[in-house]
Structure 1
Amino acid sequence: MPTTLAIEAACLSAWPALSTVHDGAWVWRFAHGYSKRANSFQSLDLADDGDAERRIAYLAALSSRNGIEPVFRVTPLAGPGILEALDRKGWAPFEESRVLAMDLDGHDFARTGDVRFFNPTDPRWFRAQTALSAASAKTVEILKTLLGLIAPEARGIVAYAPDGTPAAAALAVNAGGIGVFLNVVTDKTKRRQGYGAAVMRAALGWTVENGARYAAIQVTTENEPAIRLYEGLGFVEQYRYHYRRPA
């Protein structure tokens, strides 16, 4: 399996931010508040935990100046000095997520049903994805911008119901040989009918066909139906992360 750093790097590449600031091995990201992954800061090196309290304060101030909540993303790459500093400053943990991964070697993901592939900026995929997720007008505009910034090869995927309406959608990105899957969503009225599995099998198949050796996906710990779906496809938990914010 890929290392934690390899998975984190792939996920950062797959989901861009509008602005980034680097402080040693720490990275601060900004995207007008759309998704915490693109609006938080984190460390990518377990050993780079020195002077943590000052650095947290600096990046937190940068967040506030740009109109987003100061949030630290705590992964296994956050060193003990960072955790101690967050505790001293009273930053409270919230929203734990699991990072699941799988080795794609030897897997064959047969496509089922009416599943179609699009460029992520194609209006057909974009409209399906935002409609299924019931996105606000502000979110739609930010998402449209972020999708245009994805540098690695990517595909938007939609599974359609027999009546031709979108039933599920996902975004697949081949980030340096690791297939990363984002924005997986199923119509609330069509859940447990196989559409989520169909769109994920198609996404996994596309990454295999395009040379990815591994796959990774992030999912909140409380989303048990999604976790069961991904584990049924072959994903295995690698590590967990959570966020911290000022109490």
Structure 2
Amino acid sequence: MGQSRSPLDVADLEYLAARGWRGTEEADLGDWLLRAGGGFTGRANSALVVGDPGRPLPDAVEAVGTWYRDRGLRPTAQLPGRQSRAADAVFAEAGWERDEDVLVLTAPLTTPPDDGVAVELSPAPDAAWLAGYRHRGRALPPSAGAVLTNAEDVVFASVRLEPEPAPLAAVARGVLTDGWLGVAAVTVAEQHRRRGLATAVMGALQRWAADHGAAWVYLQVTSSNAPARELYRRAGFIEHHRYHYRYAAP
């Protein structure tokens, strides 16, 4: 992959990514997007703070808190890039706690050669795939399936190196939105790491997306995940912007 700059700005890429990883309920607060999905993942259960909420910022922060509490969820806001600094200061003043940075990385889509690893692609995640995806190191909650499949063009990649009932060796999720491939849920079983399986599933997703007309790819990685950041750096991804979450005090 080359080192070209993305054709989308922060707001446009965040709105596009929000369509690729959606909650099961959404509402608008001016330009802000409120999302709820049973508590599974920050992106599906946070207010995307982009643009103008259509009311004074302290009132918007209060409205976000109310919307999530009404759904039994901890109020959460996703604050991307420099454009969210004014809102971020108001969330901070209201006592909302800040999480670590998440890097949004982009690259032009390429079609890497098949490296011989057998990667199966499926339009829906089966039980083995769901068991193989460890979100932040934990097993998935019951609400995960509805969030994972709530997109128009989505595919689930898996690598099996041992016969069932042994778990899958690697999994990943790809979603196609307006010519962009979004890669997420890349998980390699601990006993199979450092064998190129993350690269293999990403390559399979890129070939699938290229066949469907994609030209760019994006993904998100936490700033503390040094091994993944190095993997993506070697694959040619560059940082587009960062975001972080803020959580209302319990």
Contact 2:50 2:84 (C-alpha < 8 Å) held by counterparts = no
Q: Residue type matched to 2:122 in 1?
A: F
Correspondence for 2:211: 209
Using the TM superposition, give the Cα deviation of residue 10 of structure 1 relative to its aligned residue in structure 2, in angstroms: 2.0
Structure having the larger proportion of residues in helix: 1
Distance 1:12 1:195 in 2: 27
Using the TM superposition, give the Cα deviation of residue 132 of structure 1 relative to its aligned residue in structure 2, in angstroms: 4.4
TM-score (norm 2): 0.87
Distance 1:99 1:161 in 2: 31
Contact 1:30 1:39 (C-alpha < 8 Å) held by counterparts = yes
Q: How does 1:98-137 map to 2 (within 5 A)?
A: 98-104=103-109, 107-112=110-115, 113-121=117-125, 123=126, 126-133=127-134, 136=139
Distance 2:171 2:114 in 1: 14
Q: Which runs of no fewer than 5 residues in structure 2 stay unpaired?
A: 1-5
RMSD, matched Cα: 2.1
Q: Residue type matched to 1:143 in 2?
A: A
Correspondence for 2:87: 82
Q: How does 1:1-247 map to 2 (within 5 A)?
A: 1=6, 2-45=8-51, 50-76=55-81, 78-104=83-109, 107-112=110-115, 113-121=117-125, 123=126, 126-133=127-134, 136=139, 139=141, 141-151=142-152, 153-161=153-161, 166-247=168-249
Alignment length (residue pairs): 238
Using the TM superposition, give the Cα deviation of residue 48 of structure 1 relative to its aligned residue in structure 2, in angstroms: 5.1
Q: Residue type matched to 1:119 in 2?
A: P
Distance 1:100 1:57 in 2: 31
Contact 2:132 2:187 (C-alpha < 8 Å) held by counterparts = no
Report the secondary structure of 2:66's partner residue. Answer: helix
Report the secondary structure of 1:208's partner residue. Answer: helix
Sequence identity (%): 22
Contact 2:53 2:60 (C-alpha < 8 Å) held by counterparts = no
Q: Label 1:172 to 1:215 Cα distance change in 2 as closer, same or farther (>3 A).
A: same
Contact 2:108 2:216 (C-alpha < 8 Å) held by counterparts = yes
Correspondence for 2:3: none
